[in-house]
Amino acid sequence: MFKSIVVGVDSSEHSLYAQTFAFYLARRLHASVLGLHVVDILSLEEPLLNDIAAPADVESYLQTPRLRETLTARGHRLLEAFAAAAAREGVAAHTALDFGLVANQICERSKSADLVVLGHRVRQADAPATPGGIAAGVARKASATVLICPVSGRELRRLALAYDGSERARKAMHTAAELASGLGASLTVLSVSRDAQSAQARLAQARSYFEPYGMSVEFRHLTGDAPHEIIAFIRQTAPDALFIGAYGHYRIVEMMLGSTTEHVLRNAPCPLFLSR
């Protein structure tokens, strides 16, 4: 179960969603929370400063030492607000401010945590499907389970697991079982395939795994393309969160064929637990 939680802290509303969810889990699971703000070193690069400063004639203000000082002070203010919010919620929390590449620093902190919680903006229907981003970068490399929050937190009562039989999916299944059992939540296990026989074999594995837990678990076979069927299921049934394995192929294969995880991450309107 999660006892050590890292939550990314910045000034966005999605960071507040992540904070709310981290505090909720910390209270329910008696966990401690680390609020982490990362000053991105890319924002201190001279070429970027020159591009920004030249049109506005603000070179003197955007000199690297001055900008570093400004961003550091801003980070400390955000962390002070985070600590105050944790105290109001009765959550054991501490804070840290790091310098570096944001995803890399979060992944480094994940080595001593059970869960990383991040906010994430879901792609709008008419927006281009650009790959990458901090959430995807962390999900690919973090040592801990990653919880992505595109919406404000709510109690976890109805959970779902996308299960394809892979090693990462089995890790996601373990996380789902432990959390659903600990929270007294119901769980729906999905297997998506055009081959009914293989899907039923996966669901049989899942049934065997969950049997000792004595939980309320529903097993469903969906026919079609996994990324689209998973998103359609989420939109139709509105689970409180989905568990899924994080990136099951080599990066070059995913770039060529696409990734179920990437598609779900970009489009899911509910929180996601991603396991590697």
**Residue closest to 7 by CA, chosen among 127, 129, 92:** 92
Q: What is the pLDDT of residue 133?
A: 78
Same domain, 19 and 99: yes
Sign of CA dihedral 211, 217, 222, 226: negative
Q: How many domains does the chain have?
A: 2
The model's confidence at residue 58, banded by pLDDT at 50, 70 and 90, is very low
Same domain, 164 and 265: yes
User: Does residue 107 fall inside a structural domain?
Assistant: yes
User: Does residue 144 fall inside a structural domain?
Assistant: no
Same domain, 22 and 91: yes
161 CB-side CA count, 13 A: 32
Q: What is the pLDDT of residue 63?
A: 54
Amino acid at 210: F
* Residue span of the structural domain in which 224 resides: 155-244+254-270
User: Does residue 260 fall inside a structural domain?
Assistant: yes
CATH of the domain at 57: 3.40.50.12370
User: Does residue 104 fall inside a structural domain?
Assistant: yes
The model's confidence at residue 48, banded by pLDDT at 50, 70 and 90, is very low
* Size (the chain), residues: 276
Average per-residue pLDDT for the chain: 86
Q: Are 95 and 81 in contact (CB under 8 A)?
A: no
- SS3 at position 245: strand
Q: Quick check: 207 pLDDT over 70?
A: yes
Region of poorest pLDDT, from 97-111, 230-244, 262-276:
262-276
Q: Where are the alpha helices (DSSP H) in 121-270?
A: 134-141, 167-183, 196-210, 226-237, 251-257, 260-267
Same domain, 97 and 181: no
Same domain, 187 and 237: yes
pTM summary value: 0.86
Judged on CB neighbours under 10 Å (0-12, 13-18, 19+), 242 is buried
User: Does residue 112 fall inside a structural domain?
Assistant: yes
Q: Tell me which of 73, 92, 118 is where a domain ends.
A: 118
Same domain, 112 and 219: no
Out of 38-47, 105-114, 136-145, the most confident range is 105-114
Same domain, 168 and 83: no
Q: Quick check: 73 pLDDT over 80?
A: yes
pLDDT tens-digit profile of 135-174? 888 988 899 999 999 887 679 999 999 999 999 999 999 9
Sign of CA dihedral 9, 15, 16, 17: negative
Q: Quick check: 255 pLDDT over 60?
A: no
Of the chain, the percentage scoring pLDDT greater than 70 comes to: 83
Q: Are 259 and 275 in contact (CB under 8 A)?
A: no
Same domain, 266 and 167: yes
Task: State both tokens at 41.
Answer: 């070193």
User: Does residue 109 fall inside a structural domain?
Assistant: yes
User: Does residue 249 fall inside a structural domain?
Assistant: no
Residues 6+ apart with CB under 8 A from 229: 190, 192, 222, 223
Question: What stretch of H or E contains 276?
Answer: none
